[in-house]
C-alpha cells in the first residue's frame, strides 16, 4: 500500500477552502499537510485563523497546521495544490505555483478561458486532462523537469448543466440549442458576507453577476473536443451550439436547481425513453477508474413528478451524483428537464478533489 500523497490548500480559511479541508479528512489517497491563506492568517495555527462555519466539526488533523502565505516554496512537497482563492488574488499566485512546477487544481475563474488549461467537470470531461498528459509527455521526452500545470474547476452552475448533456451528446450527437434557468443556492456565494439575509428572505434575486456569461461559454468549452494534438481545446462556435442562461438566487442553502431545455442537431431526436435510458446508463470515467469519490450512480433519473428537490436530493452519492427529473417533451425545443447538483461538491471543492483523484489514476501527479 502506497504512502498518501501530500497536498495543500490555498485560500484555506475561506468557504471553498474549508470544504476542501473537510473532503480531505480521511482521504485514502491524499494527506493534507499544507494550508495557505492571506498574510493576516499566516503564522497562526489553522484553528486560530479560521472562522469555521461548516455543519461538520473542524477535523482534528487540521487544527494545528500552521498556515503559510501562498508562496510556492512553502508548498513544494505537494503532489497537488487545491486553490480556493478569490479571483482577486488567484491570478499571480496560481501562476507562480505552476511556474514552480506544481500541479494546481483551482476553483478560481482566472485561467478558465485559456485554451491550454483544461476546464473540467470530473464526471463529464476528464478527457480534457489529456492536455496535461501531453504536456508531461513532451517534457519527459525532452528530458525537461516535470512541468507545473493548472486545471480549472468549472463554475458551480455549469457543472449541473453539462452533466446530463454528456451522455446525450455521446449517444445522440450534438445539442445545438440549450436554455437553462437556474435557482441557485446561497452557499456558493461564501459567507463574508455572502448573500444578505434580506435579499433571500421571502425573495428572489434574479441576477448573479457574471454567472450567465460563464454558463454560456463554459458549456461550449466543456463539451468541445480536444484539438488534434491534444494540446488545447477551443469553444464550440455559435453555429455548433447556442446556449442561453437565466440565473436566480433563491433561499436554498446547498444545491442548484436548473430548468433546462435542449434541441438535438440530428432530427428527428431520440425518443423520450432513449433520452432517459442514456442518462441512467451513463457511467463516468472517474467511476470506471475506481476513483474514491466517484459517484456510484452518476445521473439519477427520477420518476416522481415533484423531484428532484434540493433538500431531499442534493446529497446523492455524497453530492457527486446529479439528479434529473421531469424529463419530458418540450413544445419549443426537443426535451426539457429539471437538474439538481450539489454546488459545493460537484460544483466546487468536491470537483477539485475528484479531478485530483483522476490525475492520480492517470499518473499525472
Which positions touch a copy of itself (CB under 8 A)? 53-57, 177-179, 181, 183, 186-187, 189, 191, 193-207, 216, 238, 242-244, 246, 248, 250-253, 257, 259, 261, 305-312, 315-316, 325-326, 330-333, 336, 338
> What does the alpha-carbon distance between residue 317 and residue 55 come to, in Å, rounded to a whole number?
18
φ, ψ (nearest 5 deg) of residue 107: -90, -5
φ, ψ (nearest 5 deg) of residue 199: -80, -25
> What does the alpha-carbon distance between residue 230 and residue 153 come to, in Å, rounded to a whole number?
19
Concerning whether 156 is annotated as a catalytic residue, the answer is yes
Cβ proximity to a copy of itself, 40 vs 53, nearer residue: 53
Cβ proximity to a copy of itself, 16 vs 117, nearer residue: 16
Min dist CB 330 to a copy of itself, Å, is 5
Cβ proximity to a copy of itself, 138 vs 304, nearer residue: 304
Residue 220 C-alpha cell reads as 461550449
Concerning whether 27 is annotated as a catalytic residue, the answer is no
Residue 69 parent element (H or E): strand 68-69
Min dist CB 321 to a copy of itself, Å, is 11
Min dist CB 76 to a copy of itself, Å, is 35
DSSP label at 67? Answer: P
Residues constituting the chain: 365
Of the residues 156, 247, 284, 291, only one is catalytic, namely: 156
Residue partners of 323: CB distance under 8 A and separation at least 6: 299, 300, 302, 307, 308, 313, 314, 316, 339, 340, 341
Min dist CB 169 to a copy of itself, Å, is 17
Cβ proximity to a copy of itself, 128 vs 220, nearer residue: 220
Of the residues 70, 247, 256, 284, only one is catalytic, namely: 256
> What does the alpha-carbon distance between residue 360 and residue 365 come to, in Å, rounded to a whole number?
5
Catalytic sites, residue numbers: 156, 256
Amino acid at each position: 500500500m502506497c504512502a498518501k500523497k501530500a497536498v495543500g490548500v490555498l485560500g484555506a480559511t475561506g468557504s471553498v477552502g474549508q470544504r476542501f479541508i473537510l473532503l480531505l479528512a480521511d482521504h485514502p489517497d491524499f494527506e493534507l499537510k499544507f494550508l495557505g491563506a492571506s498574510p493576516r492568517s499566516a503564522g497562526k495555527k489553522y484553528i486560530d485563523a479560521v472562522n469555521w462555519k461548516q455543519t461538520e466539526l473542524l477535523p482534528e488533523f487540521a487544527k494545528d497546521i500552521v498556515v503559510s502565505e501562498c508562496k510556492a516554496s512553502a508548498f513544494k512537497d505537494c503532489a497537488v495544490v487545491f486553490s480556493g482563492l478569490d479571483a482577486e488574488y488567484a491570478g499571480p499566485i496560481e501562476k507562480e505555483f505552476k511556474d514552480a512546477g506544481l500541479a494546481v487544481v483551482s476553483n478560481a475563474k482566472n485561467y478558465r478561458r485559456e485554451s491550454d488549461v483544461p476546464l473540467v467537470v470530473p464526471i463529464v470531461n476528464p478527457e480534457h486532462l489529456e492536455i496535461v498528459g501531453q504536456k508531461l509527455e513532451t517534457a519527459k521526452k525532452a528530458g525537461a523537469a516535470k512541468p507545473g500545470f493548472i486545471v480549472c474547476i468549472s463554475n458551480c452552475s455549469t457543472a449541473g448543466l453539462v452533466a446530463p448533456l454528456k451522455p446525450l451528446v455521446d449517444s445522440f450527437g450534438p445539442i445545438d440549442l440549450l436554455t437553462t434557468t437556474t435557482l441557485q443556492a446561497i452557499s456558493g456565494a461564501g459567507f463574508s458576507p455572502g448573500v444578505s439575509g434580506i435579499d433571500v428572505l421571502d425573495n428572489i434575486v434574479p441576477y448573479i453577476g457574471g454567472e450567465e456569461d460563464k454558463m454560456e461559454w463554459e458549456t461550449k468549452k466543456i463539451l468541445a473536443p480536444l484539438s488534434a494534438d491534444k494540446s488545447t481545446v477551443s469553444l464550440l462556435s455559435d453555429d455548433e451550439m447556442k446556449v442561453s442562461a437565466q440565473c436566480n438566487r433563491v433561499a436554498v442553502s446547498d444545491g442548484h436547481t436548473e430548468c433546462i431545455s435542449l434541441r438535438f442537431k440530428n432530427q428527428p431526436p431520440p425518443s423520450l425513453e432513449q433520452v432517459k435510458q442514456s442518462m441512467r446508463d451513463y457511467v463516468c470515467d472517474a467511476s470506471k477508474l475506481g476513483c474514491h469519490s466517484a459517484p456510484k450512480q452518476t445521473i439519477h433519473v427520477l420518476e416522481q413528478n415533484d423531484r428532484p428537490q434540493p433538500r431531499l436530493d442534493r446529497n446523492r452519492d455524497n453530492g457527486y451524483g446529479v439528479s434529473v427529473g421531469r424529463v419530458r417533451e418540450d413544445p419549443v425545443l426537443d426535451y426539457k428537464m429539471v437538474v439538481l447538483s450539489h454546488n459545493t461538491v460537484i460544483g466546487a471543492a468536491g470537483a477539485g478533489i475528484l479531478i485530483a483523484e483522476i490525475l492520480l489514476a492517470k499518473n499525472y501527479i
